[in-house]
């Protein structure tokens, strides 16, 4: 039986059973690289990274596919990757694909789980192609004359994904080509490609295009692909007027890998539930998390069997201490403590009217509850859904009401027909009237219902394509218990002269708008950990010196731009009285004479009287100068003396 203090805690295994199955959909990711092998992709160019070395767009595309797979060895070992080449004269030798893959397409790597041997085979091919630039053209000879219809390309991708991809995985195709008009003047092939792509998307496959453009040959999506690959829009009547965003066109082939990293992580829906607008009026929506912390992968336990290592599967077992036997989870009940045990030897008459710390359980009542009852307490017997309660003015939503990350919701046409159009109409009217919605949301079966503000967001576009889609932000609202009065403390204020001196060097170091893409700066601790695992998986030596921390400040550039200005500001800071006062530490009791300014510290140092100060005063001074505060009193005095001598 679980301990009394765990009565409101359900272990992780049981939580998985209680959660909505839709939450786990798409946890595995499948990427199929669909790479063009036409003559232009084989055309040799100077390698920007190596001198006297030739490369091609096909080589760079395969290298990007290899880098993505190497990264997934660490961050997504359960994901699957495949590579299909089209517009090549080489035919597929694989027995399970040979009869169904269209002509002029070749399955270089079927859809399989990420594995080091398959990646090493691709690495060996690329190393050999770097030595012999014509190797790729010999291995995957391009077809001459009429190119492969794009409808057949999408059909081949559909068959490859059907044969190798798990049904519940999120499936995507990375289409890489430099030909902006594969079928000039053929409306029939355009219609065929669009129809086939529609079948592909209806089976749950998403197309991520990467169009390669060069200064000599710019890529114009309007010639062919804007008629085939239409963006996702809310209004059905706008579907025929969409134009692909220009941001998917890669002006430099070197940007191919960086663009793939942006699209590498799929957009998983964290829930798919009904949205009740009124009694009997329901649509379907999906929720997407906008902010997620990237963590290290979960480790596994292994058993050393001498000649090999086997994975040890762990499980939680509950044992009855009296019978020393395993207890079935279905027989488990959850209880709560009811106070101290009654005092032995005291009769009811003697105890009547006396103060006691225990309370009796009334007859007919029991302090133990089953898992179903605990779930009922938590969910209030509600099913996962969002219920619209009413509307409020947008001005009533305060900034401090946002206490957790919001969730972005979008219509799901597959569950309820008409969800898209109804959702768009509600969004449009709420934006016009400047309203927010108030909803009651239960997103998972084992979650607690919360009141949320539904903030509308209109689609906004910038140069290079749209950047924010249309939809609602679901903002969890705080309960009364979550609201606390913030303690207001008045601090020392810097004079205007000191502010102006600081503003000068800060302006020199400010990053211009759009010059800081957060996606280009990975977590250095996580990247360092993954680099070691990746080297271990491929049996490579890991060189810590070769690791580059992209978040490390460029000190040379900082000192060059604002070094003199920062020195002037520091000199002004030393002469300001408010900047050299150590504030009184807060506590239950105010300590007297804690504030010690730098002038007093210097005077005591000059006469050798620092030992007369208390340890907390010494530590406060060291903290104000960003110095370590560890060690005994003698070490603190020496550290202060060293700092004063150096400054």
Among 117, 107, 208, CA closest to 162: 107
| Residue 38 in this model has a pLDDT that exceeds 50 | yes
pLDDT, tens digit (0-9, with 9 covering 90-100), for 585-598: 555 554 454 557 77
SS3 call for 277:
strand
SS3 call for 364:
coil
Find the range with the poorest average confidence among 171-175, 518-522, 533-537: 518-522
Higher pLDDT, 188 or 488: 188
Find the range with the poorest average confidence among 289-298, 540-549, 631-640: 289-298
Separation of CA 399 from chain center: 24
Higher pLDDT, 275 or 516: 275
- Residue % of the chain over a pLDDT of 90: 15
Find the range with the poorest average confidence among 2-16, 348-362, 397-411, 601-615: 2-16
Among 424, 468, 431, CA closest to 239: 424
**What gap in Å lies between CA 200 and CA 412, rounded to an integer?**
18
- Res 361: pLDDT: 62
> Are the C-beta atoms of 643 and 602 separated by less than 8 Å?
no
| Residue 612 in this model has a pLDDT that exceeds 60 | yes
- Res 343: pLDDT: 52
| Residue 379 in this model has a pLDDT that exceeds 50 | yes
> Are the C-beta atoms of 409 and 476 separated by less than 8 Å?
no
- Res 209: pLDDT: 85
| Residue 429 in this model has a pLDDT that exceeds 90 | yes
| Residue 283 in this model has a pLDDT that exceeds 90 | yes
Find the range with the poorest average confidence among 129-143, 325-339, 552-566: 325-339
Among 400, 302, 378, 385, CA closest to 334: 378
Question: Which DSSP string do the residues of 50-80 spell out, in sequence order?
Answer: STT-EE-HHHHHHHHHHHHHHHHHHH-TT-E
What ranges in 363-405 are assigned the alpha helix state H? 371-379
Residue 471 burial (CB count, 10 A): 23
- Name residues whose C-beta falls within 8 Å of residue 596's C-beta, 6 or more positions apart in sequence: 582, 613, 617, 620, 621
**What gap in Å lies between CA 412 and CA 322, rounded to an integer?**
53
**Band of pLDDT at residue 8, cut at 50, 70 and 90:** very low
| Residue 227 in this model has a pLDDT that exceeds 90 | no
pLDDT, tens digit (0-9, with 9 covering 90-100), for 175-211: 888 888 888 877 888 888 888 888 888 888 888 888 8
**What gap in Å lies between CA 431 and CA 116, rounded to an integer?**
51
Please give the average per-residue pLDDT across 597-611, as a whole number: 79
Maximum Cα–Cα distance for the chain, whole Å? Answer: 106
The DSSP bridge partners found for residue 210 are 176
> What angle separates helix 57-75 from helix 256-264, to the nearest 10 degrees?
30
- Res 70: pLDDT: 83
Long-range contacts from 535-539, C-beta under 8 angstroms, 24+ separation: 537/73, 537/74, 537/116, 538/70, 538/73, 538/116, 538/119, 538/120
Tokens coding 397: 């939503």
- Name residues whose C-beta falls within 8 Å of residue 244's C-beta, 6 or more positions apart in sequence: 209, 221, 225, 226, 229, 230, 231, 465
The 3-class secondary structure across 611-633, one letter per residue, is HHCCHHHHHHHHHHCCCCCCCCH
Among 465, 525, 542, CA closest to 294: 525
| Residue 137 in this model has a pLDDT that exceeds 80 | yes
| Residue 14 in this model has a pLDDT that exceeds 50 | no
The 3-class secondary structure across 495-538, one letter per residue, is CHHHHHHHHHHHHHHCCCCCCCCHHHCCCHHHHHHHHHHHHHHC
The DSSP bridge partners found for residue 142 are 88
- Res 492: pLDDT: 73
- Name residues whose C-beta falls within 8 Å of residue 78's C-beta, 6 or more positions apart in sequence: 27, 28, 113, 114
pLDDT, tens digit (0-9, with 9 covering 90-100), for 302-344: 888 877 778 888 888 888 878 778 888 878 888 766 555 555 5
Tokens coding 251: 């002006």
Which stretches of 127-181 are assigned E, i.e. beta strand? 170-177
C-alpha distances in Å from residue 30, one per residue of 74, 79, 84, 257: 15, 6, 13, 18
Q: Looking at residue 212, what DSSP letter applies? A: E
| Residue 7 in this model has a pLDDT that exceeds 60 | no
| Residue 375 in this model has a pLDDT that exceeds 80 | yes
> Are the C-beta atoms of 436 and 391 separated by less than 8 Å?
yes
| Residue 413 in this model has a pLDDT that exceeds 70 | yes
* Burial state string for 575-585 with b = 16 or more CB within 10 A and e = fewer than 16: eeeebbebeee
| Cα torsion 539, 544, 547, 550: sign | positive
Find the range with the poorest average confidence among 128-132, 430-434, 502-506: 128-132
Among 157, 42, 38, 145, CA closest to 88: 38
| Residue 513 in this model has a pLDDT that exceeds 70 | no
- Res 24: pLDDT: 38
**Band of pLDDT at residue 641, cut at 50, 70 and 90:** confident
Is pTM beyond 0.75 here? no
> Are the C-beta atoms of 73 and 120 separated by less than 8 Å?
no
- Res 451: pLDDT: 94
pLDDT, tens digit (0-9, with 9 covering 90-100), for 254-274: 556 665 555 556 567 888 999
Tokens coding 270: 């964290």
**Band of pLDDT at residue 390, cut at 50, 70 and 90:** very high
- Residue % of the chain over a pLDDT of 70: 78
Q: What are the φ/ψ torsions at residue 473 (nearest 5 degrees)?
A: -95, 125
Q: Looking at residue 248, what DSSP letter applies? A: G
- Res 584: pLDDT: 59
Q: What are the φ/ψ torsions at residue 275 (nearest 5 degrees)?
A: -120, 105
Burial of 399 (0-12, 13-18, 19+ CB in 10 A): exposed
SS3 call for 390:
strand
pLDDT, tens digit (0-9, with 9 covering 90-100), for 516-532: 777 678 888 888 888 88
Q: Share the mean pLDDT of the chain.
A: 78
Among 410, 405, 407, CA closest to 471: 410
């Amino acid at each position: 039986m679980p301990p009394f203090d765990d009565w409101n805690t359900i272990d992780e295994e049981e939580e998985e059973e209680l959660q909505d199955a839709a939450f786990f959909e798409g946890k595995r990711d499948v990427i199929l690289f669909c790479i063009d092998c036409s003559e232009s992709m084989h055309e040799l160019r100077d390698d920007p990274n190596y001198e006297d070395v030739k490369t091609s767009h096909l080589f760079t595309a395969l290298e990007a596919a290899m880098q993505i797979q190497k990264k997934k060895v660490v961050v997504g070992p359960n994901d699957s990757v495949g590579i299909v080449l089209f517009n090549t004269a080489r035919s597929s030798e694989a027995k399970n694909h040979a009869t169904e893959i269209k002509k002029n397409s070749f399955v270089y790597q079927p859809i399989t789980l990420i594995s080091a041997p398959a990646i090493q085979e691709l690495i060996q091919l690329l190393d050999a192609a770097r030595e012999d630039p014509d190797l790729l053209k010999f291995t995957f000879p391009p077809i001459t004359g009429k190119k492969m219809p794009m409808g057949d390309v999408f059909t081949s991708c559909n068959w490859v994904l059907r044969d190798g991809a798990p049904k519940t995985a999120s499936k995507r195709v990375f289409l890489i080509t430099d030909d902006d008009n594969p079928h000039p003047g053929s409306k029939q092939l355009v219609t065929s490609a669009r129809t086939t792509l529609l079948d592909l998307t209806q089976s749950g496959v998403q197309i991520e295009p990467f169009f390669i453009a060069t200064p000599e040959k710019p890529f114009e999506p309007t010639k062919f692909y804007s008629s085939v690959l239409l963006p996702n829009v809310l209004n059905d009547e706008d579907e025929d007027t969409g134009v692909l965003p220009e941001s998917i066109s890669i002006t430099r082939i070197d940007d191919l890998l960086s663009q793939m990293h942006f699209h590498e992580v799929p957009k998983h829906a964290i829930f798919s539930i009904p949205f009740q607008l009124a009694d009997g009026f329901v649509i379907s929506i999906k929720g997407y998390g906008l902010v997620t912390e990237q963590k290290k992968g979960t480790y596994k336990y292994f058993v050393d069997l001498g000649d090999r290592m086997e994975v040890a599967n762990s499980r939680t077992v509950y044992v009855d201490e009296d019978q020393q036997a395993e207890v079935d989870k279905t027989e488990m009940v959850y209880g709560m403590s009811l106070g101290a045990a009654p005092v032995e030897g005291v009769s009811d008459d003697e105890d009547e009217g006396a103060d006691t710390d225990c309370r009796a359980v009334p007859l007919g009542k029991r302090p133990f509850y089953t898992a179903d009852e605990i779930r009922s307490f938590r969910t209030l017997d509600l099913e996962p859904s969002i219920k619209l309660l009413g509307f409020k003015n947008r001005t009533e939503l305060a900034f401090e009401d946002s206490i957790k990350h919001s969730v972005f919701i979008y219509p799901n046409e597959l569950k309820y027909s008409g969800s898209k159009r109804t959702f768009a109409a509600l969004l449009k009217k709420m934006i016009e009237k400047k309203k927010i919605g108030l909803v009651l949301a239960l997103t998972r079966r084992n979650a607690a219902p919360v009141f949320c503000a539904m903030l509308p967001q209109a689609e906004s576009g910038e140069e290079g394509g749209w950047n924010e889609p249309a939809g609602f932000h679901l903002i969890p609202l705080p309960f009364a218990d979550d609201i606390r009065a913030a303690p207001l403390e008045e601090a020392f204020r810097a004079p205007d002269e000191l502010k102006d001196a600081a503003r000068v060097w800060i302006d020199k170091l400010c990053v211009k708008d759009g010059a800081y893409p957060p996606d280009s700066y990975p977590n250095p601790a996580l990247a360092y950990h993954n680099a070691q695992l990746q080297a271990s998986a491929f049996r490579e030596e890991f060189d810590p010196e070769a690791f580059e921390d992209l978040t490390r400040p460029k000190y040379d550039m900082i000192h060059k731009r604002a070094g003199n200005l920062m020195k002037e500001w520091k000199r002004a800071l030393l002469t300001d009285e408010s900047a050299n006062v150590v504030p009184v530490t807060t506590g239950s009791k105010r300590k007297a004479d804690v504030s010690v300014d730098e002038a007093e510290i210097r005077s005591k140092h000059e006469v050798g009287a620092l030992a007369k100060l208390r340890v907390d005063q010494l530590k406060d001074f060291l903290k104000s100068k960003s110095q370590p505060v560890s060690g005994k009193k003698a070490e603190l005095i020496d550290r202060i003396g060293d700092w004063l001598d150096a400054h």
